[in-house]
Structure 1
């Protein structure tokens, strides 16, 4: 039976509204009780799987209808009328405490984290329902995006030491600022070809924050370091994209990786970091131009990074790809940005059919500004950094980004992405595919020997 929600009454307590609605429907409690009575998902019979799916669908339909009506009221309740800047993880934690059953609580999430992807219940889908409604809202959505543009506490702790020494060494990323005003971010997960996991996303956001907050930095550079992986030992590699082994083992969370990556360091490269500083009266965000240098390959998330940079170089033997069809997931915000660069037909060829673009192809010039021989990369990178070092460059990139990627259009995309990506990572086709890909060294089965 479908529960019909009345129009929201003025000054209605949103917690009371959810409590009454969930109690009247019973859908949330029935789904929870059924799941608790059954074995883990892989051990369920076909009938049990069908019953569980039906119960979860009823509960999710209820949550969707509730959030369609109450998203702004819920958000205002959790953020004290938008006076608190809560990141998505903090917002969901507050929602779980204030509105039990609307999103998974800490205990449910901890139980899910302990399981491989194939054995999870898919509780993150309920987080996607919640975040889609919040991001859709023209009131709550922009406030949440701004909260995600604020510097992380980790970056603020490291900032004094970085401004003094010009160096920060992290597990996945090395950040160095030289006298030329360039912040050089080197991806250094040599064992797995810079395949991204949650730890690397944390390191990347920290590094981007530090580069943006340091007044001595004028330009940022992203480049892969030398690899220790046996296939590419001693060679630079940009990125093998998402770590498929981590995805298969259940260690790629919706909030901590898939959404934080897009709304965190990638969005900060586009828009800048939101900083409270009197000198920023003309713009609330600190922005800087970015250069990306591709050695070897930029696969999946690696290519997504290129789409937010102002100048991209690639070695002539490098290639780019977005193997979404191969894996079954959505390639981040590439569906939103890629057509702008290459046009609709090539975008579908790359995203839907898995086409790989080599730097030597004419179409590569739609994605890459310069293609140079591998031995000439260092000199070409330095030249590009000097060209982007200027106040006029900074002002014009801001206007270009505003015209090319309006904030409301980005927000609308991210609202739908929050739910659709949550559904995809629990799709049976994805679970089967990443189980095979994740068997390779470092989760990098995307890469054939020699980069072919």
Structure 2
């Protein structure tokens, strides 16, 4: 190991492990036991934070062979845990937590958040990690030959068809109103990669499918946001869902995919994207709209970001929403749960085109035609660079990595998702 850990950090991590071994399961601990282990964890996390302020780049260079190799976030934290076991939770510790409800977990993901805040916050290591996350996934590369041949992708959460140079991506979790979980994130990143890699695709369209849920049976729904039942049951992870979503397919919608097939004058392949909103876009659904080039909505649809009600941070919504609406409206939406209906005057800051529900198909066709021109992509590239500088995004995501990890284990979040979990979607 070329980057030695401090002895006091090793001792603090060992103290936490010793307490975990002798104490009851997290959900069964007495108040004084919770206080004791919380203090031990805080001591270890403070030492990790101090250590990484000095050594984050050295650790990252060690794991990536001097940045000659590229590791996605999941690969990075796994490699770091193997090489620096006092710095991050081990595979065994994470596996033990994975089978528990959110309320019964040890909260090892907070230590991942400490590590990733340091790496993403580094002007040297952070950009390298962002670039690694823009690479196409192995799953997409495996499916690419079949998709380029047939123009069809069918997964658990997503259907995509290529027609006349346009990739029509439909979110099809009809049982849960397109509420997002880790499967949906994997399927969405796969679909976005394929649309960007396929040379025949010029424009992408994202739309919600027709629902079988009793309350919305037969209607198209864009997205109900994060799946709170999955969060309650411990199936929403920091790395596999919350960070992969933001740094994976959402970031690729903005900046494109990095590939050796990109033109010599650009490191990424970018394409314009259109969203069509029917019924509602809640939470992560509204976050998604903030990265599209053209958003159209049915006149009876609404948008919301109920972050304060759920207790979590709405992804990069805090970073992007105010750039669209200004600070007052973004505070009303994020902090106070304001809904914006498609016909509200303020909706024009988020929605380009509002049409009657029966005219959505016609509006999508018109938007596709307008965004097919050869000058769209270079102009889009310049707009993205001006509106969302990558360095600002990196600094935001560094802080998000820790703050969202802390929110996942907030007592108020645990109470709220337990209550939501007893309801229908």
TM norm structure 1: 0.93
Equivalent position to 1:168, from 146, 149, 153: 153
- For residues 327-365 of structure 1, the C-alpha deviation after alignment (integer angstroms, 9 at most, x for no partner) is 000000000000011111110000000000000110111
Is 1:228 aligned with 2:250?
no
**Partner in structure 2 of residue 448 of structure 1:** none
- For residues 369-412 of structure 1, the C-alpha deviation after alignment (integer angstroms, 9 at most, x for no partner) is 00000011110111001101112111111100000100000000
Equivalent position to 2:312, from 311, 329, 347: 329
**Partner in structure 1 of residue 116 of structure 2:** 131
Distance 2:36 2:374 in 1: 61
Is 1:33 aligned with 2:18?
yes
Could you say what secondary structure the match of 1:84 adopts?
Answer: coil
**Partner in structure 1 of residue 259 of structure 2:** 275
- For residues 242-278 of structure 1, the C-alpha deviation after alignment (integer angstroms, 9 at most, x for no partner) is 000000000000000000000000000000000012x
Q: Is the 8 A contact 1:19 1:99 kept in 2?
A: no
- For residues 282-341 of structure 1, the C-alpha deviation after alignment (integer angstroms, 9 at most, x for no partner) is 101000000000000000000001000000000000000000011000000000000011
Is 1:190 aligned with 2:174?
yes
**Partner in structure 2 of residue 47 of structure 1:** 32
Distance 1:100 1:28 in 2: 9
Is 1:411 aligned with 2:394?
yes
Q: How far apart are residue 21 of structure 1 and its match?
A: 4.6
1:359-370 residue pairs with structure 2 within 5 A? 359-370=342-353
Distance 2:42 2:347 in 1: 43
Q: Which runs of 4+ in 1 moved over 6 A?
A: none
Tell which deviates more after alignment, 314-323 or 29-38. Answer: 29-38
Q: Is the 8 A contact 1:312 1:370 kept in 2?
A: yes
Q: Is the 8 A contact 2:2 2:62 kept in 1?
A: no
Distance 1:202 1:310 in 2: 22
Q: Unaligned stretches of 5+ in structure 2?
A: none
Q: How far apart are residue 438 of structure 1 and its match?
A: 1.5
1:107-126 residue pairs with structure 2 within 5 A? 107-126=92-111
Equivalent position to 1:61, from 26, 46, 50: 46
Q: Is the 8 A contact 2:300 2:357 kept in 1?
A: yes
Tell which deviates more after alignment, 42-51 or 424-433. Answer: 42-51
Distance 2:397 2:374 in 1: 31
**Partner in structure 1 of residue 367 of structure 2:** 384
Q: How far apart are residue 100 of structure 1 and its match?
A: 1.1
Q: How far apart are residue 20 of structure 1 and its match?
A: 3.6
**Partner in structure 2 of residue 218 of structure 1:** 202
Distance 2:369 2:414 in 1: 45
Q: Is the 8 A contact 2:120 2:397 kept in 1?
A: yes
Is 1:18 aligned with 2:5?
yes
**Partner in structure 1 of residue 418 of structure 2:** 435
Distance 2:132 2:8 in 1: 30
Equivalent position to 2:407, from 389, 406, 424: 424
Distance 2:196 2:392 in 1: 24
Q: How far apart are residue 169 of structure 1 and its match?
A: 0.4
- For residues 56-92 of structure 1, the C-alpha deviation after alignment (integer angstroms, 9 at most, x for no partner) is 0001011111111100000000000001110000001
Distance 1:42 1:275 in 2: 46
- For residues 164-208 of structure 1, the C-alpha deviation after alignment (integer angstroms, 9 at most, x for no partner) is 000010010001101x21001000000000000000000000000
Cα separation, partners in 2 of 1:244 and 1:114, compared to 1, 3 Å? same
**Partner in structure 2 of residue 248 of structure 1:** 232
Q: Is the 8 A contact 2:208 2:278 kept in 1?
A: yes
Q: How far apart are residue 13 of structure 1 and its match?
A: 2.5
Equivalent position to 2:69, from 79, 84, 87: 84
**Partner in structure 1 of residue 380 of structure 2:** 397
Q: Unaligned stretches of 5+ in structure 1?
A: 1-11, 445-452
Q: Is the 8 A contact 2:253 2:273 kept in 1?
A: yes
Distance 2:94 2:412 in 1: 23
Q: How far apart are residue 40 of structure 1 and its match?
A: 1.2
Could you say what secondary structure the match of 1:314 adopts?
Answer: strand
Distance 1:28 1:231 in 2: 49
